[in-house]
Structure 1
Amino acid sequence: MTTVADALPALGLRVVAGDLELRGVTDDLVVELGDLAARGVHDPARMPFSFPWTDTAPEDFLSSFAQYHWRCRADFSPASWALNLAVLHRGEVVGVQGVNTSDFLVTRTGETGSWLGRAHQGRGLGTAMRQVMCAFLFDHLGFTEITSGAFTDNPASLTVSAKVGYVANGTVRYRRRDEQADMTQLLLTPEAFRRGPQRLEVEGVEAFRRSIGLDVAG
């Protein structure tokens, strides 16, 4: 029987490493993740994201959250794509780990980003889910480098990146809540990558590779 994953292979991805699972964000997970994010992702007095999506008014939050994920689906193409995977720990939804890229077939690089519900922070999950995603990108999609970024006043994110093996690669200045803020740019190579202890079990990768232009006969 044909499923939605046949039309949108990202929804059929499943990456498991021990107690962690990264899974395509289906509509039921959009709602569950939106409810989790609405309960808090960070201290409201601080803004860790270059795009301040958590500043959305409460009455508009779930709609805006869902529209973002649907927009990523609608705009998905080999030329430019965002892959957002729901993160589950022992079956419980805890956050999202994603990567964005353009011209991947030429550049073989992309930028990771993530968030965790506040109740799930401080338990090592941020590091573990980034390790799972980076292992998937390097080993199964052929990335040759991965980038990321964190504001200089976000030591928790910078610490996670360092644990995974990213190194500083310059600084970019942003406007953040109408004030200046500096973001450390980060770079990860396969040689510097510090893997997690668990072996990956992957489902749906063949169809996803074809959807981004890999393994397609010329």
Structure 2
Amino acid sequence: MLIDHWPFVGLRLNTDRLELRLPTDEELTEVALVAAGGVHQRDERPYLTPWTDLSPPERTVHVMKQHWSRRGDWSRDAWTLELAVFDEQRPIGMVALRGREFPVLREVKTESWLGLEHHGRGLGTEARSALLHLAFVGLEADAALSEVFQNNPASQGVSRKLGYEHDGISRDVLDGRSVTSDRLRLTRQVWEAGPRLKVTMSGLSPCLPFFGVTPG
């Protein structure tokens, strides 16, 4: 069975409202169609890789190809776990947890997007909280990192609300112009000391070797 060889299909993260899990290919198609409907306002450009500039059909294919690619490129030295976000069993977006040389660095990075119609209800914060639970409780990470454009107040607000602190800046080129991002860091100590959302996690143990983590 698939779960015997790719145990991530059994991984579940649940909050009061959301479930985060690996989508089936049919569910992935539904998630991709959510992205095709828009994930931010038209006058915003929140991503360094401007995939949301693609046409809706191209955006749909991009989301699907990226998900399959990240599964296929998995290694213990560099991995990206991408999970669909479900609200009342309906896919509403995607989150990702990334690690590089994780057994040594003990750091993760997070990514996320939600369909535009699902903004403004605290669901992005809730989904990020579930990922952080996986990182700090499940994988025993030391820190979670995020990079956010300085002109992206919504994502900045989610990070600050969860306790991330300023950790410098990075500069890149987007469409021939300079853009600046804030590097944000959430340490285990700050996360443990702050208020935390209740998250239920199941199916992680058989996945741990894929992260380079020895089951306890």
Which bin holds the TM-score, normalised by the shorter protein? over 0.9
Aligned to 2:214: 215
Aligned to 2:51: 53
Aligned to 1:173: 171
Aligned-residue offset at 1:101: 1.3
**Which residue of the other structure, out of 38, 41, 58, is the alignment partner of 1:40?**
38
Aligned to 2:26: 28
d(CA) in 2 for partners of 1:25, 1:173 = 34
Q: Identity rate of aligned residues, in percent?
A: 33
d(CA) in 1 for partners of 2:164, 2:30 = 30
The letter of the residue matching 1:207 is P
- Whether the 8 Å contact between 1:87 and 1:129 is mirrored in structure 2 is yes
- Whether the 8 Å contact between 2:167 and 2:183 is mirrored in structure 1 is yes
Q: What count of residue pairs does the alignment treat as equivalent?
A: 214
Aligned-residue offset at 1:134: 0.3
Aligned-residue offset at 1:135: 1.3
Aligned to 1:160: 158
Aligned-residue offset at 1:62: 2.1
Q: Deviation per CA, 1:91-120: give whole Å up to 9, x if none.
A: 221111111111111111011110010000
What stretches of structure 2 of length at least 5 have no aligned partner?
none
Q: Deviation per CA, 1:146-203: give whole Å up to 9, x if none.
A: 10011000001000000001011111111123322110000001221244332x2222
Aligned-residue offset at 1:64: 2.1
The letter of the residue matching 2:200 is E
What stretches of structure 1 of length at least 5 have no aligned partner?
none
Please, what TM-score do these two structures have when normalized by structure 2? 0.93
d(CA) in 1 for partners of 2:156, 2:177 = 21
RMSD: 1.7
SS at match of 1:192: helix
